[in-house]
Structure 1
């Protein structure tokens, strides 16, 4: 059997401190992050010419899932989390070899304190994700307008997001409060709850960690209401 040792070329830094709440696909949320190249790959030679591209493909490891292994069949959220289909017919994070692929927007490249930093946005990766490879996105070959996507042909429906008065006041007084508000709105609009919870009565209070904040929210009459924003103390 063919075997190969794969070494990460970098680490992705994102606002997503936990798997819960991460967008299920890239490009759905305009979150900003960065890739920090590591080891021998932390050299500007590896990224020379990369800024001529607007988007990049990232190959990465689902490192937090590896110990749990995989199954031949999984329950995709698009089918309500009730019906099983083959793992190769989905983008499940529990898969052989634990390799994922996402397209992200390239925001720029920096070299600071002997560190190559690739600024990106639109990623769907948990903070600390190992990056296995980076490739340019080529519109003429990678964009296929006539492609069929079965159960995932259409983009997901978005939920209405409402902030209570105290959260709105807090955001208005916060440095980069509008940026945080937009991130919260875009993440929660995807409705991060398990698929089987949707379209059912649900009075549970949920919490999600974004960057340095713990966000409290719940579903009230088909709207997602943000009721608390707390800074996580170091």
Structure 2
């Protein structure tokens, strides 16, 4: 029986707003081990790698039944494809896989090793089942085809963030928040320019709307305290 070895601390407390894939620059998070796995020997040598694979659980998407097909948002929410041809969280086994950048491993006197990473697309508190080093010659395939999931990282929305609202965001969180917004957090099939969307990030509630190729931030409010 598999058991989580760690969990993540991130700025995301809601599924809405989380990047659809890992790798977003400057988005920081921490991996904390459960007591049984807080032995520093378990991460010895890990600092020699620049990137890691995280194997984790879609803990908010567990269902009793599974469907052989799902409706990816990128296809408008109406076209069905096989679940194994997608990265949908609704799977027979709710397992996720993310590639992240390793920035530091700190030794906490009470919690043992704490792994600092960038680029995680995980909800705060997500259970992590395993951590593996990313091996460039084996794991990188630039020539690979991506079907409907192929996207260009330059295909971003323009973000209009009024200075008086941006100043409510801690400086260290401003750049990653703008990056998240530029990727368009909305479901692909929702295109109403009058609709106001919102999601929690780093203890704040961010509200925005999108018109054509521009995202307009409307409000930044204090979020609910944990």
With the length of structure 1 as denominator, give the TM-score of the two structures. Answer: 0.90
- Change in CA separation of 1:83 and 1:99 when aligned onto 2, cut-off 3 Å: same
Q: Which residue of the other structure, out of 84, 90, 99, is the alignment partner of 1:88?
A: 84
Q: Which residue of the other structure, out of 72, 76, 82, is the alignment partner of 2:72?
A: 76
Structure with higher helix content: 1
2:121 aligned with 1:124: yes
Q: Which residue of the other structure, out of 160, 164, 167, is the alignment partner of 1:166?
A: 164
Deviation, 1:149, is: 1.4
Deviation, 1:41, is: 0.7
CA distance in 2, matches of 1:134, 1:111: 17
- Confirm or deny: 8 A CA contact 2:102 2:115 kept in the other structure: yes
Deviation, 1:28, is: 3.0
Structure 1: 5+ residue stretches without partners: none
Deviation, 1:194, is: 1.3
2:108 aligned with 1:112: yes
CA distance in 2, matches of 1:185, 1:112: 31
**Aligned twin of 2:141:** 144
CA distance in 2, matches of 1:96, 1:212: 33
- Confirm or deny: 8 A CA contact 1:107 1:119 kept in the other structure: yes
RMSD (Å) for aligned C-alpha atoms: 1.6
Q: Which residue of the other structure, out of 27, 31, 36, is the alignment partner of 2:23?
A: 27
**Aligned twin of 1:134:** 131
With the length of structure 2 as denominator, give the TM-score of the two structures. Answer: 0.93
- Change in CA separation of 1:154 and 1:218 when aligned onto 2, cut-off 3 Å: closer
Q: Which residue of the other structure, out of 154, 177, 182, is the alignment partner of 1:189?
A: 182
Deviation, 1:29, is: 4.7
Matched residue count: 223
Q: Which residue of the other structure, out of 14, 17, 20, is the alignment partner of 1:18?
A: 14
- Confirm or deny: 8 A CA contact 1:69 1:94 kept in the other structure: no
Q: Which residue of the other structure, out of 78, 97, 100, is the alignment partner of 1:101?
A: 97
Local SS of the residue matching 2:107: strand
- Confirm or deny: 8 A CA contact 1:12 1:130 kept in the other structure: yes
Question: 4+ residue stretches of structure 1 with deviation over 4 A?
Answer: none
CA distance in 2, matches of 1:154, 1:222: 16
- Change in CA separation of 1:215 and 1:43 when aligned onto 2, cut-off 3 Å: same
Structure 2: 5+ residue stretches without partners: none
- Confirm or deny: 8 A CA contact 1:23 1:29 kept in the other structure: no
- Confirm or deny: 8 A CA contact 2:76 2:189 kept in the other structure: yes
CA distance in 2, matches of 1:29, 1:81: 28
